[in-house]
Amino acid sequence: MTTVTKNKVTDLFLENAPSFGSFPSLREESKQIVNGKGLPAAKDEEYKFTSVSKKLEQVITDFSPAKPIAVSKDTIKDHLWAGFEGSYLVFNNGIFSEELSAFENSGFEVQMLSESNAIALGSIAKAEKDPFIALNTIYFEDGIQISIPRGKKVDSPILFLFFNQANEGQIISPRILIEVAENAEATFLEHSISLDEAVYFSNSVTEIKVGQNSHVHYSRLQNDGSKAIVVSNFETDIHRDATFTSTVVSLSGDLVRNNLSLRLQDSGCVGNMYGLYLLNGKTHVDNHTNVDHTKPHAESNELYKGILTDQSRGVFNGKIFVRQDAQKTNAFQQNNNILLSEDAIVNTKPQLEIWADDVKCSHGCTTGQLDEEALFYLQARGIDKMQAKGLLLYAFAGEVLEHINDESFRNYIDRLVQERLGSNF
Amino acid sequence: MSKDNQILEELTSKEYEHGWSVNLETDEAPVGLNEDIIRWISAKKEEPEWLLEWRLKAFRTWLTMTEPEWANVHYPKVDFQALKYYSAPKQTKKPKSLDEVDPELLQIYERLGINLNEQKRLQGIAVDAVLDSVSVGTTFKETLSKLGIIFCSFSEAVHEHPDLIKKYLGSVVPMTDNYYAALNSAVFSDGSFCYIPKGVRCPMELSTYFRINAANTGQFERTLIIADESSYVSYLEGCTAPQRDENQLHAAVVEIYAASHAEVKYSTVQNWYPGDKEGKGGIYNFVTKRGICAGDHSKISWTQVETGSAVTWKYPSCILKGDYSVGEFYSVAVTNNYQQADTGTKMIHIGKNTRSRIVSKGISAGKSQNSYRGQVQVMKRAANARNFSQCDSLLMGDRCGAHTFPYIDIQNPTAKVEHEATTSKIGEDQIFYCNQRGISTEDAVALIVNGYAKEVLNQLPMEFAVEAQKLLALTLEGSVG
């Protein structure tokens, strides 16, 4: 369906591609894909408003994979928010650092991908699906596999901390494989931090298998530096009676592209996707989500909200597929945007593709300003206009934030959002 | 379930009502497409030099273009060299009035329920009847001309009103707009032309009735409607074609120009032959329709009921250039058997305080695929633009598909844009409720479908609404038990 023309950036990546000993066939296959398809150009429907290739061509000067930087344990402590209790796994320029991490006796297993026999690697996030997945598969040095055993309820959250800095190469490629066995429960948090304001390209792949009757929450905070280019590929397979909830909060970056894909493999699955993007400056955030209903009696909910100001741009594309077998599907999708400035742009495309007749599917999207009447109501009650605005915007954003199940993370993000919206009074 | 299947069976075995054809002596262009054919068509129509040049330019551009593949439709490609691009019923001389028109031609329209002679007497609708490549007759010309309204076939307009044609032809849909528009620009044979002068409210519905009769031809008509300042016109379009095994191509272009305070209402009931129940034959309906609200406070409203065609590819659009201009799009698209429809609209908000409204109701049954594809674009200077879109899909049977591809691109913070869509089937509880009250399942389905499509059908002029309702009932009655 997609036609891509090879571009200069593709060649630069292939020329600078590292050669790692692990996973030879996967990497070779990925090289073929990148070489054959090329990285998506602006003509590509999937990357219509977000030309990552063009951006990379303009700003990236060093296409070599990034090496770890000096990060001290104190730096990590500084970036853990108040009230955080749980294990954390640190990625230093995309490479897992065991010594900086803390995850003892937490009830789950962590292995380096190269040391485990990660058979599932590349089977959930298939390289042929998106050239950026293939690119990550070529560029990641090593990643980790997390396994939650059957019936295990991991009480405290598992936090991924990404520390990124560009002075040791600019291509950062984190790779994570999570396998949650049957009847298990876990909460994952993710926080990406830029240690300087330099240009880097982070291209991550996270593959998750949610086993039968398991419940997984995954909340992400994207707070990269204003020059960072971020592509995240998030692929999940959700099995019978399992639930998976993803929440993404994007606050900064130069260009951020989130690909999120949920495959509801069996009956009784629930997939939830929530997103909030508060954009200013020239930040460009693109959320592409994809839910695939393959079997009957599954449900998906989606709510993405955006507040845009300055010259920022928000792109949303939500796809819902309901296959022929997936009768009795419930799928809901909503995208709301508020534009606060003359130069902000929103491109949204809520897409439904339905092949089954006994389904309830709906999608909606709105773009507009704050409700004048609500503003007036608050002003009439003695709240000044700025405060009233902040209050209304905070309430608008709150609908997404409430889905973050870890309280300390939610409070932390909540504060950042309040600061940004000027509603921290 | 077996009853469902039985009813579905009955439904799908229903014959296409307008599937007959008539043996007419025709004047045809040789098979194939090249510059000579275009010169041949142009010469046949005794066209001025500039129009031939225009056609040739379009043809040369077309040669460099590739067929669009982004639409959600799959069909064997058209062999453009195997078609005849011109087919006209033989007439010894140009008829001055309907009385001189070949009675056999008039009979065709009578069989379709359009009696041109009767239309002459009845007040109400002025019809331009287009058969294959040419217009065979236009009614009420004189009454209309008293008001200064020009309503005639396109070829006539080329000779009699060359200035208007020269000024507006291709102004809304440029010849290079897309693959099929370019093809149409190169080979278009006839169509309707309509001009409403300043301040005139057209007293009757203007109507074009398109009929494909000849085999192996494509129909490429071109309609141009110009509504001058503060005028109003309501325009209807209907179409049918004989039942044939091969796929026939219909690639039309409709252009509407609305000056300030003008209002144009364009309604279509599209009932081209949809192919048989195995999906064999049927019309490829690749149409470019676009209107421009050029002046302030102007309004263009598209209403369409799409029931026919094997493959439909059609996006009637509005360019809202004038301040306070309004664009509307109301659509019911029904697909059954192996039909595929990819239809929707584009609303481009350029002027300030522009408003648009989209109501699209898709109904898919059998093994058909029905897609809504629309775009709402608010440009930077379009302050206070307002759009509301609703696109609902109704699925009947578990072998069909409904797809929605709405693009919403906003560049102005004062814009208010809303889009909502739902997909559902007819609820068993709804049917049960009707059954309880003594309404048979068949009637209940018709009732519910009509209710579902009512928002759109209400927009149709009276005569069309009745036809459309009948069509809906015919296509869908009883497809869900």
Q: Is B395 exposed, middle or buried (0-12, 13-18, 19+ CB in 10 A)?
A: buried
Residue in B398, B405, B423 closest to A351 by CB: B405
Cβ(A204)–Cβ(A191) under 8 Å?
no
Residue with tokens 């954390």: A88
Tell me the average pLDDT of chain A: 91
Interface touch B403/A354, C-beta < 8 Å: yes
Q: State the average pLDDT over residues A83-105.
A: 91
- Look at residue A108 and tell me whether its pLDDT is greater than 50: yes
**pLDDT tens digit sequence for B200-224:** 998 888 888 777 766 667 788 889 9
Q: State the average pLDDT over residues A383-403.
A: 92
Give B386's strand partners.
B355, B416
ipTM comes to 0.78
Residue in B401, B410, B416 closest to A355 by CB: B401
pLDDT on residue B300: 95
Residue in A347, A356, A362 closest to B398 by CB: A356
- Look at residue A354 and tell me whether its pLDDT is greater than 80: yes
Quick one: closest CA in A to B386, which residue? A368
Closest CA to A126 of A29, A8, A197: A29
Chains A and B: how many Cβ contacts under 8 Å?
Answer: 111
Whether B5 contacts chain A with CB within 8 A: no
* B268, containing H or E segment: strand B263-270
Residues from chain B that touch A355, judged by Cβ atoms under 8 A, are 400-401
Looking at the complex, report in whole angstroms how far the Cα of residue A76 sits from the nearest Cα belonging to chain B: 40
Residues from chain B that touch A362, judged by Cβ atoms under 8 A, are 420-423
Interface touch A342/B397, C-beta < 8 Å: no
**Rounded Cα distance, B196 and B210, in Å:** 22
CA B4 to chain centre: 32
Assigned token pair, A253: 């970056």
The per-residue b/e assignment along B161-190, b for 16 or more CB within 10 angstroms, e otherwise, is beebbeebbbebbebbbbbbbbbbbbbbbb
Q: State the average pLDDT over residues B243-260.
A: 84
- Look at residue A17 and tell me whether its pLDDT is greater than 80: yes
Interface touch A355/B424, C-beta < 8 Å: no
- Residue B22 CB neighbour total at 10 angstroms: 15
Looking at the complex, report in whole angstroms how far the Cα of residue B387 sits from the nearest Cα belonging to chain A: 10
**pLDDT tens digit sequence for B8-20:** 444 444 556 666 6
Looking at the complex, report in whole angstroms how far the Cα of residue B317 sits from the nearest Cα belonging to chain A: 18
Closest CA to B144 of B169, B166, B119, B162: B119
- Look at residue B303 and tell me whether its pLDDT is greater than 80: yes
Residues of chain B with pLDDT > 90, as a percent, come to: 30
Helices within A310-384 (DSSP H only): 372-380
**pLDDT tens digit sequence for B153-178:** 888 889 889 999 999 998 999 888 88
Closest CA to B461 of B94, B248, B205: B205
- Going B91 to B93 to B94 to B95, the CA torsion angle's sign is negative
Q: Which of residues 389-408 of B touch A (CB under 8 A)?
A: 393, 395-408
Cβ(B89)–Cβ(B136) under 8 Å?
yes
Q: State the average pLDDT over residues B85-102.
A: 61
Tell me the domain boundaries of chain B.
2-314, 428-481
Residue in A349, A356, A368 closest to B417 by CB: A368
Looking at the complex, report in whole angstroms how far the Cα of residue A1 sits from the nearest Cα belonging to chain B: 8
Determine the straight-line distance between the first and last CA of chain A, rounded to whole angstroms: 50
- Look at residue A242 and tell me whether its pLDDT is greater than 70: yes
pLDDT on residue A214: 96
Phi then psi for residue B399, to 5 deg, are -115, 5
Residues from chain B that touch A341, judged by Cβ atoms under 8 A, are 413
Residues from chain B that touch A46, judged by Cβ atoms under 8 A, are none
pLDDT on residue B32: 81
Determine the straight-line distance between the first and last CA of chain B, rounded to whole angstroms: 8
Q: What is the pTM of this model?
A: 0.84
Residues from chain B that touch A342, judged by Cβ atoms under 8 A, are 380, 412-413
Q: Is A19 exposed, middle or buried (0-12, 13-18, 19+ CB in 10 A)?
A: exposed
Closest CA to B255 of B235, B274, B240: B235
- Look at residue B131 and tell me whether its pLDDT is greater than 70: no
**Rounded Cα distance, B165 and B159, in Å:** 9
Closest CA to B37 of B80, B90, B70: B80
Interface touch B416/A357, C-beta < 8 Å: no
Interface touch B423/A352, C-beta < 8 Å: yes
Residues from chain B that touch A45, judged by Cβ atoms under 8 A, are 70
Give B284's strand partners.
B249, B311
Interface touch A365/B408, C-beta < 8 Å: yes
Residues from chain B that touch A360, judged by Cβ atoms under 8 A, are 422-424
**pLDDT tens digit sequence for B268-289:** 888 777 777 777 788 888 999 9
pLDDT on residue B122: 43
Interface touch A362/B423, C-beta < 8 Å: yes
Chosen for mutation from B410, B428, B430 (greatest number of chain A CBs closer than 10 Å) is B410
Q: State the average pLDDT over residues B363-385.
A: 90
Residues from chain A that touch B389, judged by Cβ atoms under 8 A, are none
Quick one: closest CA in A to B392, which residue? A362
Tell me the domain boundaries of chain A.
8-266, 371-425
The per-residue b/e assignment along A116-149, b for 16 or more CB within 10 angstroms, e otherwise, is bebebbbebbebebbbbbbbbbbbbbebbbbbbe
Residues from chain A that touch B396, judged by Cβ atoms under 8 A, are 357
Beta strands A243-252; A215-223: pairing state = parallel
Interface touch A346/B408, C-beta < 8 Å: yes
